[in-house]
């Protein structure tokens, strides 16, 4: 039976997903041994079974991120934080030293590029998830089993990680595949 993989992007840029796709022709080899379940790649929205490996891109910047992450933890045997944002907050966490109000104000009201918001409205639709006071890394919210650093992680690192996990080997990234940028 094929192993199952689920992926999601929380407070991320989808760059890590791009990097997954960037394993190029090995993607075909991968599809021989795994099946993608809930993931933006398959557009499956809900978990219907237990999954072997969950790949998390991005940290948690809003309330929805936390719900999704906890849902992943519940349904995935192994959870991997993929990319700097999932590991330590990454680029979104650059707001962490600044008050939330100040960030929102800069983004929607007083920032130099804000031209069209003449009525000075801060998005307030109740459907929008609430922003958290700071961005959290995934392992601050749930237990994370493995970490794949990089912004995004090199495709080789992702390939090495998934295959070695499925084959029961220790992950041993090459010097060139382990980079933080």
Partner 1 sequence: MQKNISLSINGNKISTTKSKTIVEAAEDNGIYIPTLCFLKGKLDHSNCRICTVKVDGYHKPACSTLVADNMDVITNSDELEELRKYIIELLFSTGNHICAVCQKSGDCELQALAYKYKLLFSRFEHLYPNKGIDTTSSDKIIMDKSRCILCQRCIQAIKDKDGNPFFVLQGRSNALEVVFDKEMNDIFTQEDAIEAVKQCPVGCILSKESAAFETPIGRRQFDKTEIGNKEV
Interacting residue ranges for partner 1, rule: CB under 8 A? 81, 84, 87-91, 93-94, 96-98, 134, 137, 139-140, 146-149, 151, 173, 175-176, 178-181
DSSP assignment of the chain equals --EEEEEEESBS-SHHHHHHHTTTTHHHHHHHHEEE-SBTTTTB-S--S-EEEEEEESBEEEHHHHHHHHHHHHHEEEEEEESHHHHH-TGGGGGTTS-HHHHHHIIIIISTT--S-TT-PPP--TTSPPEEEEEE-HHHHS---EEE-SSSPPHHHHHHHHHHHHHTPPP---GGG----
The smaller minimum CB distance to partner 1, of residues 29 and 140, is found at: 140
Q: How far is the CB of 47 from partner 1 (least distance, A)?
A: 26
- CB of residue 173 vs partner 1: minimum separation in angstroms? 7
Cβ 91 to partner 1, closest distance in Å? Answer: 6
Between 1 and 175, name the residue whose CB sits nearer to partner 1.
175
105 vs 139 by CB, closer to partner 1:
139
In the bound state with partner 1, the residue whose beta carbon lies nearer, of 36 and 159, is 159
The CB-of-153 to partner 1 minimum distance in angstroms stands at 10
Least distance in Å: CB of 151 to partner 1? 4
> C-alpha distances in angstroms, 126 versus 13, 66, 123, 129?
24, 17, 9, 8
The distance between the two most distant Cα atoms of the chain, rounded to a whole number of Å, is 58
User: Residue 76 or 149: which CB sits closer to partner 1?
Assistant: 149
Alpha carbon of 32 to those of 5, 21, 160: distances in Å? Answer: 13, 15, 16
Which one, 14 or 180, has the nearer CB to partner 1?
180
Q: For the CB of residue 79, give the shortest distance to partner 1 in the complex, in Å.
A: 13
């Amino acid at each position: 039976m094929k192993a199952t993989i689920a992926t999601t992007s929380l407070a991320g840029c989808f760059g890590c997903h791009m990097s997954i796709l960037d394993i190029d022709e090995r993607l075909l080899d991968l599809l021989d041994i795994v099946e993608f379940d809930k993931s933006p790649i398959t557009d499956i929205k809900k978990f219907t079974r237990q999954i072997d490996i969950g790949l998390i891109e991005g940290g948690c910047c809003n309330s929805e991120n936390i719900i999704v992450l906890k849902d992943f933890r519940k349904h995935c045997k192994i959870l991997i934080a993929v990319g700097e944002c999932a590991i330590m907050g990454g680029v979104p966490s650059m707001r962490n030293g600044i008050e939330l109000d100040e960030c929102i104000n800069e983004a929607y009201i007083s920032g130099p590029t804000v031209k069209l918001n003449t009525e000075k409205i801060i998005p307030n639709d109740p459907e929008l998830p609430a922003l958290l006071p700071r961005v959290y890394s995934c392992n601050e919210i749930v237990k994370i089993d493995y970490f794949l650093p990089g912004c995004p992680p090199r495709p080789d690192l992702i390939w090495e990680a998934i295959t070695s996990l499925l084959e029961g080997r220790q992950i041993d990234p090459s010097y060139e595949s382990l980079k933080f940028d």
